[in-house]
């Protein structure tokens, strides 16, 4: 069953195209990465998938329902959240808990289960001892972990992460890849992640999408590659 | 002083506006729209000038102009996505230039402009008090029911969109509520200092609050303390309430930051 489908998608900024004739399918329960050089339109592709950008032409279809027929829950971790400045007066727990509000009604009162899920998410990313700290006081890598915890607290059907390991040390990164793999294998979630660390991640992935510049000009093409052993683009 | 009817009204109006304006300030500061209050107050001044010129109730025309300005700023903000602060400059220039032209045309009524510019404790009539009450009710309901979406949008609008929130409409609603609160605050603090009532309590609360919920409560407390002590000082010293309230809030901000720094240093020494 398709989670996201891009058909002949063209997109650019101003008059300059940056993604042409992109055709991509991502299926339920897959762990997929998007990679490519700087400026290869990786974030753009993510935003097109999520409906945050409208394509110039072509179609983007994102599943509305999860496998159980309920409303699809999306956990999105952007590359950087501008509001995370030193003065932001919100604690780690407060922020992660806001992920629970995104499930169901925004007015519902959070219960014991919500509290447990919030605490689990904070523990999973290794931020338990920082749970009462203001997020503005955390380091870049720690802020990133808190964003991931918020997305996990949502119990998302689709988890979309844009270079989430920026600022993380190697040990944290490897632990994080295992955590994402568990989301796919244990909970049947779909994970789409932009990364530059393909080699490091190889053993955890189902598939990778490579965005690359074509030899004849300034636009990029999109190739989907099986991740069984190598990452050389095909097609 | 509270045995005077006008002072009772001023304290009532000041209390209502202090609570709602300082809560609004926290969201405005965190959404990096602190200048929006200033901009809308200048747009509101154009409405006041138009009301005086056309012999319509200036409070009503000021109110309508502020709300219209709030809607306009949302559209201009979207047109200048990368430089969103440009929308503030564009609309502020539009509001102020219109106000100056209309003020010069309505020369005979310069005296009443002073109370709109600097605020006046005697300027708050029963109609304005009712208007402030209604604005506080609508604004309070908006902030209560929208507190979680607003919190989410304050962090990141794109994440909020992926969570299924109608960001465009909530943002528009927030701007309209901001315009309403700014317009309702003008009789007490005046056009030129209305942003002080919105920004200064929030500026201190954000520095000292341990959490987001605490920031809202602390900001409202500071706003209330600033307005009540400012009004009392204004009565005793016969000074304009707008300037006095703004000055008291500024003193509270400087004292609060000073105490916080001193506490931090003492803790470090211990």
Same-domain pairing of A51 and A12: yes
Are the CB atoms for B124 and B9 separated by under 8 Å? yes
Nearest-neighbour CA in chain A from B215: distance (Å): 7
Same-domain pairing of A165 and A68: yes
Same-domain pairing of A15 and A123: no
In eight-state DSSP terms, residue A214 is -
User: What angle, rounded to 10 degrees, do the helices at A140-153 and A170-187 form?
Assistant: 10
* Tokens (6 digits) for B128: 């304005």
Q: What is the pLDDT of residues B102-126, one digit of tens each?
A: 888 876 555 567 777 777 766 677 7
Q: How many residues does chain B have?
A: 270
State phi, psi for A128 to the nearest 5 degrees: -55, -45
Read off the pLDDT of each residue in A63-79 and give the average, rounded to a whole number. Answer: 86
- Provide DSSP, A85-132: -TT---BHHHHHHHHHHTSS-TTSPP-HHHHHHHHHHHHHTT-GGGTT
Q: Which residues in chain A touch residue B207, judged by CB atoms under 8 angstroms apart?
A: 87
Of the three residues A156, A185, A214, the one that is the final residue of a domain is A156
- Tell me if A52 and B148 make a contact (CB, 8 A cut-off): no
- Residues B252 and B47: their CA atoms lie apart, in Å, by 32
Q: How many domains does chain A have?
A: 2
According to the model, what pLDDT value does residue A14 have?
Answer: 82
User: If you average pLDDT over every residue of chain A, what do you get?
Assistant: 83
According to the model, what pLDDT value does residue B109 have?
Answer: 57
Percent of chain A with pLDDT strictly greater than 70: 87
Nearest-neighbour CA in chain B from A155: distance (Å): 12
A82 burial via Cβ count (<10 Å: 0-12, 13-18, 19+): exposed
pLDDT above 70 (res A58)? yes
Domain-by-domain residue ranges, chain B?
Answer: 5-269
Confidence bin at A211 (pLDDT 50/70/90)? confident
Q: What is the pLDDT of residues B160-202, one digit of tens each?
A: 899 888 988 999 999 999 999 988 888 778 887 888 889 999 9
Same-domain pairing of A98 and A171: no
Q: What is the CATH number of the domain that holds A5?
A: 3.40.50.300
Same-domain pairing of A40 and A8: yes
According to the model, what pLDDT value does residue B266 have?
Answer: 86
Same-domain pairing of A67 and A90: no
Same-domain pairing of A65 and A126: no
pLDDT above 50 (res B206)? yes
Q: Which residues in chain B touch residue A134, judged by CB atoms under 8 angstroms apart?
A: 210-211
According to the model, what pLDDT value does residue A199 have?
Answer: 83
pLDDT above 90 (res A159)? yes
Of the three residues A122, A140, A156, the one that is the final residue of a domain is A156
- Provide DSSP, A170-201: HHHHHHHHHHHHHHHHHH--EEEEE-S-HHHH
Q: What is the pLDDT of residues A5-26, one digit of tens each?
A: 998 888 888 888 888 888 888 9
Of the three residues A126, A156, A186, the one that is the final residue of a domain is A156
According to the model, what pLDDT value does residue B156 have?
Answer: 82
Same-domain pairing of A148 and A99: yes
Percent of chain B with pLDDT strictly greater than 90: 27
Q: What is the pLDDT of residues A220-234, one digit of tens each?
A: 556 665 443 333 343
Same-domain pairing of A217 and A115: no
Same-domain pairing of A102 and A201: no
Where in the sequence is the domain holding A229, given as residue range(s)? Answer: 1-72+157-235
Same-domain pairing of A165 and A228: yes
pLDDT above 70 (res B215)? yes
Read off the pLDDT of each residue in A93-109 and give the average, rounded to a whole number. Answer: 84
Q: Which residues in chain B touch residue A51, judged by CB atoms under 8 angstroms apart?
A: 161
Task: Compute how many other C-beta atoms are within 10 angstroms of the C-beta atom of residue A228.
Answer: 10
Are the CB atoms for A204 and A177 separated by under 8 Å? yes
Nearest-neighbour CA in chain B from A52: distance (Å): 7
Q: Which residues contact B177 (CB under 8 A, 6 or more apart)?
A: B24, B138, B139, B142, B143
Same-domain pairing of A228 and A178: yes
B5-269: which CATH topology?
ABC transporter involved in vitamin B12 uptake, BtuC (1.10.3470)
Q: Which residues contact B108 (CB under 8 A, 6 or more apart)?
A: none
Q: What is the pLDDT of residues B37-74, one digit of tens each?
A: 888 988 988 888 888 888 888 888 888 999 998 888 88
Are the CB atoms for B154 and B27 separated by under 8 Å? yes
Q: Which residues in chain B touch residue A77, judged by CB atoms under 8 angstroms apart?
A: 159
Buried b (16+ CB within 10 A) or exposed e, B98-111: bbeebbeebeeeee
According to the model, what pLDDT value does residue A228 have?
Answer: 39
According to the model, what pLDDT value does residue B239 have?
Answer: 85
């Amino acid at each position: 069953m398709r989670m996201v489908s891009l058909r002949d998608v063209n997109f650019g900024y101003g008059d300059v195209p940056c993604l042409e004739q992109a055709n991509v399918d991502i299926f339920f329960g897959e762990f997929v990465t998007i990679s490519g050089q700087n400026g290869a339109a990786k974030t753009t592709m993510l935003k097109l998938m999520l409906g945050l950008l409208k394509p110039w032409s072509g179609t983007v279809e994102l599943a509305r329902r999860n496998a159980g027929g309920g409303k699809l829950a999306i956990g999105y971790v952007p590359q950087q959240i501008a509001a995370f400045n030193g003065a932001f007066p919100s604690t780690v727990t407060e922020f992660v808990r806001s992920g629970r509000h995104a499930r169901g009604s925004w007015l519902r009162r959070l219960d014991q289960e919500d509290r447990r899920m919030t605490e689990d998410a904070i523990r999973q990313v290794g931020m338990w001892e920082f749970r009462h700290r203001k997020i503005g006081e955390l380091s870049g890598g720690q802020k990133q972990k808190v964003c991931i915890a918020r997305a996990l607290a949502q119990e998302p059907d689709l988890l979309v992460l844009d270079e989430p390991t920026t600022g993380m040390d190697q040990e944290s990164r490897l632990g994080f890849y295992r955590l994402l793999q568990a989301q796919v294998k244990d909970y049947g979630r779909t994970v789409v992640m932009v990364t530059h660390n393909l080699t490091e991640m190889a053993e955890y992935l189902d598939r990778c999408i490579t965005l690359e510049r074509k030899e004849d000009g300034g636009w990029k093409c999109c190739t989907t590659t099986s991740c069984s052993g190598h990452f050389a683009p095909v097609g | 002083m509270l045995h005077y009817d006008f002072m009772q009204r001023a304290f009532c109006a000041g209390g209502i506006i202090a609570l709602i304006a300082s809560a609004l300030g926290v969201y405005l500061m965190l959404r990096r729209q602190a200048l929006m209050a200033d901009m809308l107050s200048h747009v509101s001044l154009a409405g006041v000038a138009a009301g005086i010129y056309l012999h319509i109730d200036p409070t009503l025309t000021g109110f309508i102009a502020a709300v219209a300005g709030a809607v306009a700023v949302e559209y201009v903000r979207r047109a200048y996505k990368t430089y969103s602060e440009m929308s503030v400059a564009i609309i502020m220039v539009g509001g102020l230039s219109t106000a100056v032209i209309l003020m010069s045309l309505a020369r005979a009524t310069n005296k009443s402009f002073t109370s709109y510019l600097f605020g006046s404790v005697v300027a708050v009539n029963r109609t304005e008090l009712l208007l402030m009450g209604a604005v506080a009710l609508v604004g309070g309901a908006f902030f209560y029911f929208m507190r979680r979406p607003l919190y989410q949008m304050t962090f990141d609008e794109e994440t909020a969109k992926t969570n299924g929130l109608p960001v465009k409409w909530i943002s528009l609603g927030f701007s309209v509520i901001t315009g309403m609160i700014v317009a309702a605050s003008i009789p007490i603090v005046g056009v030129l200092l209305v942003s002080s009532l919105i920004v200064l309590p929030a500026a201190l609360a954000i520095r000292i609050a341990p959490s987001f919920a605490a920031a809202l409560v602390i900001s409202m407390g500071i706003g209330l303390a600033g307005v009540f002590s400012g009004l009392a000082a204004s009565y005793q010293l016969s000074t304009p309430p707008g300037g006095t309230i703004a000055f008291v809030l500024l003193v509270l901000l400087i004292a609060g930051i000073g105490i916080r720094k001193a506490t931090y240093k003492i803790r470090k020494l211990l």
